[in-house]
Amino acid sequence: MSILSIQNISKSYGNIKALNGVSFEVPQGAIFGVLGPNGSGKTTLLSIIVDVLKADNGNFLWFDQPSSPATRRKIGTLLETPNFYHYLSAFNNLKITNSISGRGNVTEINVVLEKVKLLERKNSRFSTYSLGMKQRLAIAGALLGEPKVLVLDEPTNGLDPVGIAEIRELIKELSIAGHTIIMASHLLDEVEKVCTHVAILKKGTLLTTGAVDDVLVDNDIVEISASDNNALLNILQSYNGTEQVILENGLVQIQLAKGTARPEEINAFCFSKGITLNHLVIKKKRLEAKFFELTNN
Ligand code: ADP
């Protein structure tokens, strides 16, 4: 079942087209990454689906229904860093968050602090918190009202490595606890580590979407050469499992599905066709290269 269905959404700021007919589905229980370089439209899209901005065109459905106060109650959002009071404790800050947003109630505060592992520090002043703890408190605020879905814009931005690790771990735990999570990120590595599904945006256009394992497939690459590389290129067209064979920088490159490269087999295959190899190296195609390809073509 789809938690969120985005249908053909467009949005311009004056003559800047921030989103151009974007459509995708967020499955229930996903950790869904909206991935793209800065300026690709991620914040605009998240702002539209939480009703902060209005789309020029297109629709979106939450839980198969048009957005309404009832659907909004099921969605916790963290689009901007909240302004917490430095001299107040985590608990008192969340009391203020609760009274401003009207989401949840005071008795829930300990529950959300427990979820983000700040219960023991609930009486410490905000100013004594690490960056990761501050962001965890912000997520606790978004958890008030027991939302089914959390929408987070670049949740690890500006954090130190420890804070980044804490937040990524927390996101996975919240997912296990039953929340569907939709998060923007400009980091391929983050989406790969944290997310189950992804939609990749480039300049407001959806490039691709699906399960992370399908979209960000990492091919095996075997680089070989022989005295006659053109002949080599030819015979490899019929090698079982070849997805692509190209001649690059005087070497033949074979792309195969992840984990399927068998160099001995390739060597034996070529030999059986009368070609002796003078070079054979397995290379890993970096996912970054794939992302770069996707976002720069
Ligand atoms: P991302 O979150 O991926 O960095 P944004 O949604 O913030 O992307 O921005 C998408 C595009 O829209 C960018 O070109 C950005 O400069 C432009 N943009 C965003 N907000 C505004 C605004 N309030 N006024 C004008 N242009 C904007």
Q: pLDDT higher for 26 or 101?
A: 26
Give the contacts of 258 (CB within 8 A, at least 6 positions apart): 217, 218, 219, 220
- Look at residue 5 and tell me whether its pLDDT is greater than 80: yes
Percent of residues, the chain, with pLDDT higher than 90: 76
> Ligand 1: which atom is nearest the Cα of residue 36?
3
Ligand 1 pocket test: which of 9, 10, 11, 13 has the largest number of ligand atoms within 8 Å of its C-beta?
Answer: 13
CB 151, CB 76: distance < 8 Å = yes
Q: What angle do CA 215, 184, 210 make, to 5 degrees?
A: 20
Which amino acid, one-letter code, is at 181? I
- Whether 44 is in the pocket of ligand 1, judged by its Cβ within 6 Å, is yes
- First vs last Cα of the chain: how many Å apart? 33
> Ligand 1: which atom is nearest the Cα of residue 38?
4
Which residue has a Cα nearest atom 25 of ligand 1?
Answer: 13
Please give the structure tokens belonging to residue 265: 């087999």
- Look at residue 53 and tell me whether its pLDDT is greater than 70: yes
Q: What pLDDT, on the 0 to 100 scale, is given for residue 261?
A: 87
Q: How far is CA 253 from CA 33, 191, 232, in A?
A: 31, 28, 10
Q: Which domains does the chain have, with CATH numbers?
A: 2-215 (3.40.50.300), 220-285 (3.30.70.100)
- Look at residue 286 and tell me whether its pLDDT is greater than 60: no
* 96-118: average pLDDT: 93
Q: What pLDDT, on the 0 to 100 scale, is given for residue 289?
A: 59
**d(C-alpha 37, C-alpha 205), whole Å:** 12
Give me ligand 1 centre to Cα 205, in Å.
Answer: 13
- Look at residue 188 and tell me whether its pLDDT is greater than 70: yes
Q: What pLDDT, on the 0 to 100 scale, is given for residue 200?
A: 93
> Ligand 1: which atom is nearest the Cα of residue 186?
3
Q: What pLDDT, on the 0 to 100 scale, is given for residue 242?
A: 85
Give the closest residue to 74 by CA, choosing from 97, 95, 51, 55: 51
Q: What pLDDT, on the 0 to 100 scale, is given for residue 296?
A: 63
CB 93, CB 138: distance < 8 Å = no
**d(C-alpha 113, C-alpha 138), whole Å:** 10
3-state DSSP call for residue 271? Answer: helix
| Axis-axis angle for helices 90-101, 131-143 (nearest 10) | 40
Length of the chain, in residues = 297
Give me ligand 1 centre to Cα 152, in Å.
Answer: 17
| Axis-axis angle for helices 229-236, 263-272 (nearest 10) | 110
**d(C-alpha 24, C-alpha 7), whole Å:** 7
Q: What is the pTM of this model?
A: 0.82
**pLDDT tens for residues 61-104?**
999 999 999 999 999 999 988 889 999 999 999 999 999 888 98
- Look at residue 297 and tell me whether its pLDDT is greater than 60: no
Q: What pLDDT, on the 0 to 100 scale, is given for residue 19?
A: 98
- At residue 293 the predicted structure's pLDDT band, cuts being 50, 70 and 90, is low
